Amino acid sequence: MIVTPGWYLALAAVIFVIGASGMLLRRNALVMFMSVELMLNAANLSFVAAGRALGVLDGQAAVFFVMVVAAAEVVVGLAIIVAVFRRRATASVDELSGLKG
Amino acid sequence: MVELVLFVIFALAAVFGAVTTVWARNPVYSALGLMLTLFSVAVFYVSNGAHLVAAVQVIVYAGAVMTLFLFVVMLVGVDRAENRKENLPVQRPLALGLLVLFGGAVLVAGRFAWVTGPSGGRAREGTAEALGNELFRRWVLPFELTALLLIIAAAGTIALGMFRPGEEGGEEDEGEAA
């Protein structure tokens, strides 16, 4: 049996759905961030697999840019989590209702 | 054949790591599961010929990003049990139903040949030279823009870090958005 790019795309879909479930079902801001990383990695994997199927390097170039955006997002997001934690001593998004009318 | 064996082993590892990330009660276990998934994805990059991307994945993700995550997990506290009571009554069933629907839709859609293009030829190896040519010739302007993005992110993080709750001279707790 030969591993076709479709297999990688299917695996990326599975990982993406698991990440989305973490985003929807968890309340811990840190775990939600990790779920975002899962989804980004699933997208990266599908970029690379599709690029291989087409015989081009554009997919790998796209992965580079996704990685940069993910790194910037993690840095800012974790700084926000730490800032919120210093103020509220919690990482649960349910307890951050300060903007509720 | 080698690729098939590698795919099966590391696909199981990746899915296991992803499920651990989502289900573990302790955020440290979540971080370790995420690290397992990131390494498995790096292996998939290698078997797809993306060698430089695999190296960057291990260095940036499994190295820098996971260190940052673990650092914040330790800072925020690992012994703090998460309140798993769901406040929205329909959230969990609705979320699970939507996820099953979405996953099925994606898997079914994946059976069609969406990946079509002019050249279905053999994979190009993502060596540092080839990818550097791509990045610094065709994509040089987006590449410079990512530098701008990183500078903005770093400056924003420093601004957030300089802010201390109680140093701004008597404002109320709720008021300022850092």
DSSP chain B: -HHHHHHHHHHHHHHHHHHHHHH-SSHHHHHHHHHHHHHHHHHHHHHTT-HHHHHHIIIIIIIIIHHHHHHHHHHH-SS-------SSTTHHHHHHHHHHHHHHHHHHHHTS-----S---PPPP--HHHHHHIIIIITHHHHHHHHHHHHHHHHHHHHHHH--TT-SSS--TTT---
User: Given an 8 Å threshold on Cβ–Cβ distance, is A28 in contact with B156?
Assistant: no
Domains contained in chain B, number:
2
User: Given an 8 Å threshold on Cβ–Cβ distance, is B126 in contact with A33?
Assistant: no
Instruction: State chain B's mean pLDDT as an integer.
Output: 81
Does residue A4 belong to the interface with chain B, where contact is any CB pair within 8 Å?
no
Look up the CATH number of the domain holding residue B9. Answer: 1.20.120.1200
pLDDT tens by residue, A55-69: 888 889 999 999 999
Residue spans of the domains in chain A: they are 5-89
Which CATH number does the domain A5-89 belong to among 3.40.50.150, 3.40.50.300, 3.30.1330.10, 1.10.287.3510? 1.10.287.3510
Reported pTM: 0.85
User: Given an 8 Å threshold on Cβ–Cβ distance, is B75 in contact with A82?
Assistant: yes
Each residue's pLDDT tens digit in chain A (101 positions)?
777 788 888 899 889 999 999 988 888 888 999 999 999 999 999 999 888 888 888 889 999 999 999 999 999 998 888 888 887 777 777 777 777 76
User: Given an 8 Å threshold on Cβ–Cβ distance, is B91 in contact with A55?
Assistant: no
Q: What is the pLDDT of residue B83?
A: 61
CB < 8 Å to B108, chain A:
none
Residue B110 lies in a domain: no
Can you read off the two tokens belonging to residue B130?
Answer: 């080839």
Range of the domain at B41: 1-78
Which residue type, as a one-letter code, is found at position B131? Answer: L
Whether pLDDT at B20 is above 90 = yes
Residue that terminates a domain, selected from B10, B45, B78:
B78
B-facing residues of A in 11-40 (CB < 8 A) are 11, 13-22, 24-28, 30-31, 33-35, 37-38
pLDDT tens by residue, B96-154: 888 888 888 877 776 665 555 554 455 678 788 888 888 899 899 999 999 999 999 99
Q: What ipTM, to 2 d.p.?
A: 0.91
User: Given an 8 Å threshold on Cβ–Cβ distance, is A76 in contact with B160?
Assistant: yes
Residue B57 lies in a domain: yes
Q: What is the pLDDT of residue B164?
A: 66
